[in-house]
Structure formats: C-alpha cells, structure tokens
Amino acid sequence: MAGIMEHHKVLSETSGGKYTPQEILELEQGFRTDALQQEQEEQEANDNGYCIHCGEELENCTGYKCWI
C-alpha cells in the first residue's frame, strides 16, 4: 500500500493491533497537518504584531512560556 513504511508496521504491532498501519499513517499525517497549521497561525499572528500564545502585542510578550 502506498505510503506505508516499515515503522508504520512496527507501530501497528506495538499498538497491539489497535491500529492498522494505514491508520498509523493517517494519524501521523493528521499530526503533521496540525503542526503545520499551527506554524502558519503563529506566523500570521507574528505578521500582525501579536503573540499567538498570550495574545499580547509582541513588544509586551515575554517570549519563553509567555502564556503561563
């Protein structure tokens, strides 16, 4: 099957048959899409001068773990 790699099969086996290699692949791709989307939102907020994490303007943002 296209896209299924050895580590998908291994992950499928280690999940105890909970996931098929195809499902592992889909989960992985879903995760990548989310990460990519988050990156884009962050970039967009940055372009608008806001921090996506705390909602402050970038000059008021403390940076590391600013949302805490």
- Distance of closest approach, residue 47 Cβ to Zn ion, in angstroms: 15
In 3D, which of 25, 55, 52 has the Cα closest to residue 39? 52
- Distance of closest approach, residue 60 Cβ to Zn ion, in angstroms: 8
Handedness of CA 26, 32, 35, 40 (dihedral sign): negative
- Spell out, one character per residue from 16 to 55, where the chain touches Zn ion: x when CB under 5 A holds, - when not: -----------------------------------x-xx-
Q: How far apart are CA 19 and CA 41, in angstroms?
A: 30
Choose the stretch contacting Zn ion; rule: CB under 5 A; options: 5-13, 22-30, 34-42, 58-66: 58-66
